[in-house]
Amino acid sequence: MHIYRYTLPVIFLLFFKSALAVDSGDPLKAFLKDFKSMQANFVQTLINEDGEQLEKTSGTLYLQQPGKFHWSYQEPYSQKIISDGDNLWIYDEDLEQVTIKPMGDTIDQTPAGIILGNSDINIHFVTIDMGKIEGYDWIELTPRDLEAQYKNIRFGFDKNRLGMMIIADNLGQVTRIDFEGINKNSKLPTELFKLEIPENVDVIDEREQQ
């Protein structure tokens, strides 16, 4: 089992609240305008406080209004993180294990909703326009919650194309996600957003503990 694997659901959830209150010239708001769905490939790199690479993974993600996502890690191991808006499935194919969690309101306390847009981002974050750096227009979001597990999340845009996301946590580690082949507002199959649990896997259903 890879020791960093269980950080991935947390990293994924850094992707969903809204930016309705961002200034009209902001590239994040431009990207979110008329947003309905998104499909993209990604490469995710985890770097420690000394600048050393700890892990590099790749895969595909799908997002769809309202509140649905499918985040699939394909290399160097296979893991799926899926939500239909109410339930969250984490399927680790190598470990033959599925964990099911209720989405609830916890997502409101993370930068997890930045793409799908359900409420005012200023409730949860301080937004800074960082200007253009190395060809990207950067927006930084800092959580207002002092107990958040991360320091900030940054989005890099090339015009209205999302090119990169960088997450800095409170342990000094940085997660960089590079996006490629973004297809915005295409029709996505509904079955992407619900996990059909395979036979002969261990199921941990945390909804029963609520």
Domains of the chain: 5-209 (2.50.20.10)
pLDDT per residue as tens digits for the range 183-207: 989 999 999 999 999 999 999 998 8
pLDDT at residue 162, rounded to an integer: 87
pTM for this structure?
Answer: 0.79
Chain centroid to Cα 97, Å, comes to 21
What digits encode the pLDDT tens for the residues 118-135?
Answer: 446 677 778 889 999 988
- Give the CA distances from residue 82 to residues 89, 174, 200, in Å, rounded to whole numbers and listed in that order: 5, 23, 19
In whole angstroms, give the CA distance from residue 42 to residue 36: 19
Nearest to 127 by CA among 144, 112, 110: 144
**Cα–Cα distance for residue pair 91/104, rounded to 1 Å:** 19
